[in-house]
A and B are shown apart, each in its own frame.
Chain A
């Protein structure tokens, strides 16, 4: 290095930052506090919430939403939305269902083909968004309707009804079920395998975000795309990768539901896309991109799962869930906006 040391006056020396400040700066703090509050609340209000059986129930609920919420959170940090993520759960389930029960395709091959389909649709979403410079909200809204229509129309045209059944009669079904639909025992209670997928995915997504180049690029393309491009970040590759990620997560959620129930409805997943976004936002993701965490999104899903099942345990009217979700979303957005303003204000 040619540079010589140059000292300039008028700067403060380095001082240490307190661990508390460091912790409060994290995106997922709000969600963690809210999750504890929700847990304590339902543990007090209902008998079975804090029992192993209760935990297994709401963890499973949280897992299915969490898998999607994590992928959606990564995409949101990258500055984009995917409204087609929910219908992808249905599409991939239907592909496997129809290919195996109707066309006699091997289960594993069908599972792989469904994944290929998801990847292609995700890449198409990403490519279209980047090429046209249209908001991803609009592009994926289009994909959402196309998939929703195809799910119903093609299913009806091929098998004459709107639900695929009889998967457990297909050879090899129970092999695949071990991977996607089995349970494991812990504290004498059966937990769904989806919980494991959820935890693994949270860990992998956090690793990618915080410790890899790709993670750095995801934050950068969401925070300031032009700047990212100027310093050599592969913007197109990063964004397409994120869209492929949400589509692939849709495939995983689709497989988890399909192999557990051995049936799939043509309308599966419709209307869920906003719940994923809410989970991500409650977990600290900014709607404008560039900020958020995978752990936060997982916590957002946990809050959703606990509330969803907690209301059932308490035997309340299920409609309270929606009202609660709305309040959570508003509170989270207000907190996030406050955080962002504090971060962006120049000294």
Chain B
């Protein structure tokens, strides 16, 4: 029952649930993704990191069977496979939790939990939903993920973002997922809610699932990841085990090291002493600009993130 930190466990001894080798996808002449190799083991979290347009969604689509790959190899339990449909991927135990979570906000939690795979009892015209079983199971499965709902009848739209994400994860686990692909689960969430979701990722890992955690946030990735796959403009630029790199290195890799330095030069003011008064600072005492951009330089003594983001929207 004891939960171990990623570093304490040895990733190499686990069996590979899913492997991809030099996998890629082309749409006609356009290469959306090329040369990605990765191993997804049971009870491990594999993080797929990349900026917007790096090929993360294409990678997910290959793994989840939405678009089959055009080059390379995909192996499930060591056997070469090619998913022609999401249904096939599901049958192989690969479940995907998309960003929109595939839930219906106005429907009760228990109806959402079983949506599309509702258990029934009775025959003929009396064939009906096994409501008691559905309610009970939903409650129990969510409790297993550490969510104790007051009422499984409440519309799922009334749950917090993190809780909804967790319901989607619990649902995938219940329906026999061995590999769980999470598409940017923390992207739309605040700090606290992200923490909730990261806990459930760990819970799913400890339950023996191979988790593919797709994100552009290296901090979230490093908290839970055992392996890291870095994508950039449709190409795999690196694959690391946790022991091979530090958070700082991961962050630098993600930000694109040299590119960030160049950006720094671009944003830095040529001559801070004689430059005209900062036009942002007239309306904003903190000195943050639109979209949270600020000129490089010593940070102001206090940053109110909430306030900054609101002002970013207002401008």
A346 to B155, CA, bound (A): 10
Given contacts A346-B161, A347-B160, contact A231 B115 (CB under 8 A): yes
Question: Does chain A have a CB within 8 A of B206?
Answer: yes
- B243-298 interface with A by 8 A CB criterion: none
Residue of A nearest to B129 (CB): A211
Task: From the candidates B87, B120, B155, B157, name the one contacting A213 in the complex (CB within 8 A).
Answer: B120
Asked if B87 and A232 sit within 8 Å, CB to CB, the answer is yes
Which secondary structure characterizes the binding site on chain B? loop
Chain A: interface residue count, which band?
35 or more
Given contacts A213-B118, A290-B104, contact A345 B158 (CB under 8 A): yes
Query: B195-215 interface mask toward A, CB cutoff 8 Å, 1 = contact, 0 = none?
Result: 000011001001111000000
Asked if B144 and A290 sit within 8 Å, CB to CB, the answer is no
Given contacts A11-B147, A15-B150, A230-B98, contact A290 B116 (CB under 8 A): no
Question: Does chain B have a CB within 8 A of A311?
Answer: no
- B168-211 interface with A by 8 A CB criterion: 173-174, 199-200, 203, 206-209
Q: How far is the CB of B251 from chain A (nearest CB, A)?
A: 27
Which secondary structure characterizes the binding site on chain A? loop
- A332-347 interface with B by 8 A CB criterion: 340, 343-347
Query: B103-130 interface mask toward A, CB cutoff 8 Å, 1 = contact, 0 = none?
Result: 1111100010011111010000001110
Task: From the candidates B146, B149, B200, name the one contacting A7 in the complex (CB within 8 A).
Answer: B146
Question: Does chain B have a CB within 8 A of A160?
Answer: no
Chain A residues positioned under 8 Å from B209 (CB to CB): 2
Chain B residues positioned under 8 Å from A8 (CB to CB): 145-147, 199-200, 203
A14 to B142, CA, bound (A): 12
- B133-177 interface with A by 8 A CB criterion: 139, 143-151, 153, 155, 157-161, 173-174
Question: Does chain A have a CB within 8 A of B305?
Answer: no
Asked if A12 and B146 sit within 8 Å, CB to CB, the answer is no
- A188-230 interface with B by 8 A CB criterion: 207, 211-213, 215-216, 219-220, 223-224, 226-228, 230
Given contacts A212-B128, A346-B160, contact A230 B148 (CB under 8 A): no
A1 to B158, CA, bound (A): 29
Chain B residues positioned under 8 Å from A215 (CB to CB): 129
Chain B residues positioned under 8 Å from A213 (CB to CB): 118, 120, 129
A22 to B151, CA, bound (A): 10
Chain B: interface residue count, which band?
35 or more
Asked if A347 and B111 sit within 8 Å, CB to CB, the answer is no
Question: Does chain B have a CB within 8 A of A291?
Answer: yes
A209 to B190, CA, bound (A): 36
Q: How far is the CB of B64 from chain A (nearest CB, A)?
A: 10
Of listed B102, B127, B200, B209, residue having the most chain A CB within 10 A: B102
Query: B78-90 interface mask toward A, CB cutoff 8 Å, 1 = contact, 0 = none?
Result: 0000000011000
Task: From the candidates B115, B131, B139, B146, name the one contacting A211 in the complex (CB within 8 A).
Answer: B131
Residue of B nearest to A344 (CB): B157
Asked if A14 and B104 sit within 8 Å, CB to CB, the answer is no
A61 to B104, CA, bound (A): 36
Question: Does chain A have a CB within 8 A of B77?
Answer: no
Question: Does chain B have a CB within 8 A of A3?
Answer: yes
Chain B residues positioned under 8 Å from A2 (CB to CB): 207-209
A-B pairs with lowest CB-CB distance, top 3: A8-B146, A231-B116, A232-B116
What are 6 A-B contacts defined by CB distance under 8 Å?
Answer: A8-B146, A17-B153, A212-B120, A213-B129, A223-B104, A231-B116
Q: Interface residues, chain B, CB within 8 Å of chain A? A: 1, 3, 86-87, 98, 100-107, 111, 114-118, 120, 127-129, 131, 139, 143-151, 153, 155, 157-161, 173-174, 199-200, 203, 206-209
